[in-house]
Amino acid sequence: MVRDAVPGDIDEICALIEEHARYEGNDELKLDRAEMARHLFGPDPKAWVLMAEHGGEVAGMAFCSWSFSTWEARPGIWLDDIFVRPAYRRHGLGRELLHELRARTTGRIEWDMQEGNERAAAFYAQLGARPVPGWIRYRWRPDAP
């Protein structure tokens, strides 16, 4: 089952992000729950989350924000993070999360994938998603000179 996150989910949301970071090799990440709650559920939310449940337990999530394509003249979704806990994989939850996103926009849904993640690439290809040729992602951090 997929549902919209509510304020009471903040601990699970942060725990899922931290678990994903550890899964990807970052053992240092520890999120400030109050700050994340303000960004997700405060008076001016910056992102939103879909929660995936299996057997009444939180199994995964999709962390998203709205984007806008000037060339398509319509909103889309930026999928910043999708994670399903290993014990709940192969139950269709990742597919369910992505299909729910597809149902929420007529625009494009975009995300990054770490190079070399062949299982994820195969999964995304099954959905019909393709890499964007000719584009390189840039990141400008506030501490840059």
Those residues whose C-beta lies under 8 Å from the C-beta of residue 87, and which sit 6 or more positions away, are 59
What's the burial of 52, exposed, middle or buried (CB within 10 Å: 0-12/13-18/19+)? buried
Q: Let me know if 124 is a catalytic residue.
A: yes
Would strands 74-84 and 109-110 be described as parallel, antiparallel, or unpaired?
parallel
Rounded to whole angstroms, how far apart are CA atoms 124 and 117?
Answer: 11
User: Which residue in the list 23, 88, 124, 138 is annotated as catalytic?
Assistant: 124
**Would you name the residues annotated as active-site residues?**
124
